[in-house]
């Protein structure tokens, strides 16, 4: 239902929102987690482009890399500032993965 000036008893979307309690440290942690995943996506992209540049790319490798890249985006989309433990666990997972991809 759209709230109009003629319906003063109806609450707007903004009026129904509750405050979100998080600190600037939480915001920084979220950004670091997002950037870590972005770096993993970049590493997957590099491997994907290298595979596709081969005279006979392995279709299963291409599919696996594309799925891994999509999984990264889904993990980023799962972040909620109300669940900092999940954000930190995901960041740690992707930091380890990035390290192994670079090795």
Per the CB < 8 A criterion, the answer to whether 12 and 1 are in contact is no
Distance in angstroms (rounded) separating the CA atoms of residues 39 and 95 = 9
The mean per-residue pLDDT over the stretch 32-61 comes to 97
- Global pTM reads 0.78
Quick check: 77 pLDDT over 70? yes
Distance in angstroms (rounded) separating the CA atoms of residues 47 and 63 = 12
Where along the chain do its domains lie?
22-102
DSSP letter string, 12-69: PHHHHPPPP---HHHHHHHHHHHHHHHHHHHHHHHHHHHHHHSSS--HHHHHHHHHHH
Distance in angstroms (rounded) separating the CA atoms of residues 96 and 11 = 46
Quick check: 18 pLDDT over 50? yes
Indicate the average pLDDT of the chain.
89
Q: What is the largest CA-CA distance in the chain?
A: 68
The mean per-residue pLDDT over the stretch 3-22 comes to 68
């Amino acid at each position: 239902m759209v709230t109009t000036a003629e319906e003063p008893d109806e609450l707007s979307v903004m009026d129904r929102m509750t405050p979100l309690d998080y600190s600037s440290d939480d915001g920084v942690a979220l950004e670091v987690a997002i950037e870590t995943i972005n770096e993993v996506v970049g590493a997957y992209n590099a491997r994907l482009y290298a595979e596709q540049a081969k005279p006979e790319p392995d279709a299963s490798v291409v599919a696996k890399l594309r799925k891994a890249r999509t999984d990264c985006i889904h993990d980023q989309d799962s972040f909620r500032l109300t669940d900092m433990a999940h954000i930190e666990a995901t960041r740690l997972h992707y930091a380890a993965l990035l390290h192994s991809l670079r090795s």
